[in-house]
Amino acid sequence: MTAPDPPPRPGKPTLPWRARLLVGAASALHGASFRGDGTVNRFLVSLFDRPAPPTPAPVAGVASTDHAVSDHLRVRLFTPTTAAGDEDSKQRPVPVVVYFHGGGFVFHSAATAQYDELCRRLASGIPAVIASVDYRLAPEHRFPAPYDDGEAALRWVLAGAGGALPSPPAAVFVAGDSAGGNVAHHVAARLPAGVAGLVALQPFFGGEAPTESELRLRDAPFGAPGRLVWLWRAFLPPGATRDHEAANVPDAIRRDADAGDGRWRAFPPAVVCVGGWDAHQDRQRAYASALRAAGAEDVAVAEYPDAIHAFYLLGELADSRKLVGDVAKFVNRRAEQLEKRALDQARD
């Protein structure tokens, strides 16, 4: 006999009224833009996906500029004044974080106002240069287009970003949230030697068999089962199931380890951020566990028990501010480790 589904988590997450309205509106408008034939109503999306312009003159201590990597790929650089304010600071290497926005592979861009604001907070709070990647979106551009764009953007940064960086990067990290966290993982897996660390904010993974948290939190923000099915169908190759290696990443890592593939032992240090009101949390913890079991040496999980999916976009939340601090600690600790290692090698 099949076990009954676990009951939904009692109560609702505590959110300020403005945040609750924004989350409800975004969820409703996302759903309304889905078409039955698998396409997206981009006009409707444009009505709520408000773009923010770049600000070459610093705003709140952060300047931003847009750059072309190729004919179809753009990157928005966010540079804190602490990295580009005077001649001495221009000679001081700073970390660079290559960032991939969320949105189920279907929504948003590097210019989306909420992501522009998040990247500004990260640039100032770490401090670091944030390279926010405007990767191609599904369903117009399916797997592996975002991964290809992410790899191209990372290679561009590693090569000096066409001279757009204030100094040679001290260390280059990859980061992303939700679907962007999925992209960040696959980009790091392609070029592990070039990545100092991975920051995965509530990464979006999937699978055919629902997890306990997906059943329990199916009514939580951005957790509706029908929504998840539609998004994966829009992104994955035609005919693929959600157990495809792009979606069911924990299982893919475990299969590699069982087959004796030791490549995950070279995976960069990672921190995985998990929210207690996020339907995807079981897969996120399983991802961290799979990396550790496969030999990755430094994989941490940061828990935010009261956080909904995409809480980091709501700057007024205490957990959102805490996350920026936690990311700053991870990036700076890892950058300091690499700097010390380089100095020790130079002395030998």
Reported as a single tens digit per residue, the pLDDT across 233-263 is 999 999 999 999 999 999 999 999 999 999 9
Q: How confident is the model at residue 9 (pLDDT cuts 50, 70, 90)?
A: low
CA dihedral 193, 197, 198, 199 (to 10 degrees): -170
Give the mean model confidence (pLDDT) for residues 258-274.
96
For the ranges 14-28, 296-310, 325-339, the lowest mean pLDDT is seen at: 14-28
Domain membership of residue 20 (yes or no) is no
pLDDT at 170: 81
Mean pLDDT of 125-146: 98
Q: Are 105 and 60 in contact (CB under 8 A)?
A: no
Backbone dihedral angles phi then psi of residue 305, each to the nearest 5 degrees: -60, -30
pLDDT at 189 over 60: yes
Q: How far is Cα 184 from Cα 14, in angstroms, rounded to an integer?
A: 29
Question: What pLDDT was estimated at residue 3?
Answer: 46
Domain assignment present for residue 169? The answer is yes
* Mean pLDDT of the 146-175 span: 94
For the purposes of burial, counting CB atoms within 10 Å of the CB of 238, is it exposed (0-12), middle (13-18) or buried (19 or more)? exposed
Residue 193: inside a domain: yes
Which of the residue ranges 27-36, 163-172, 196-205 has the most confident prediction, judged by mean pLDDT? 196-205
Cα separation of 334 and 80, whole Å? 19
What mean pLDDT is predicted for residues 305-331? Answer: 97
Task: Choose the catalytic residue: 134, 177, 278, 319.
Answer: 278
Q: Any idea what DSSP says for residue 34?
A: B
Q: How many CB atoms lie within 10 A of CB 12?
A: 12
Looking at residue 1, what is its pLDDT?
Answer: 40
Report whether pLDDT(8) > 80.
Answer: no
Mean pLDDT, the chain, integer: 93
| Active-site choice (101, 185, 186, 309) | 309
Number of structural domains the chain divides into: 1
> How sure is the predictor about 345, in pLDDT bands with cuts at 50, 70 and 90?
confident
Catalytic residue among 178, 244, 256, 282: 178
- Residue 31 domain-assigned (yes or no): no
Query: In this structure, is residue 38 part of a structural domain?
Result: no
Phi, psi angle pair for 312, to nearest 5°: -65, -15
Question: Residue 15 domain-assigned?
Answer: no
Average pLDDT for 260-269:
96
d(C-alpha 34, C-alpha 44), whole Å: 10
Question: Can you give the residue range of the structural domain that contains 319?
Answer: 57-346
Report whether pLDDT(154) > 70. Answer: yes
To the query of whether residue 278 is one of the catalytic residues in this protein, the response is: yes
Does residue 41 have a pLDDT over 50?
A: yes
pLDDT band at 14 (very low <50, low <70, confident <90, very high): confident
40 found inside a domain = no
Closest by Cα among 325, 323, 317, 321 to 23: 317
Mean per-residue pLDDT, 21-49: 90
Output 10 or 165, whichever has higher pLDDT: 165
Type of residue numbered 294? A
Range picked from 3-7, 28-32, 263-267 for highest mean pLDDT? 263-267
Q: What is the domain-level CATH number for residue 266?
A: 3.40.50.1820
Please check the confidence at residue 83 and state whether its pLDDT lies above 80.
no
Active site residue 72: no
For tokens 């034939």, name the residue: 37
Predicted pLDDT at 93: 80
pLDDT class of 71 with cuts at 50, 70, 90: very high
Tell me if 144 is assigned to some domain.
yes
pLDDT score, position 347: 79
Reply yes or no on whether the pLDDT at 89 is more than 50.
no
Is 178 labeled as catalytic in the residue annotation? yes
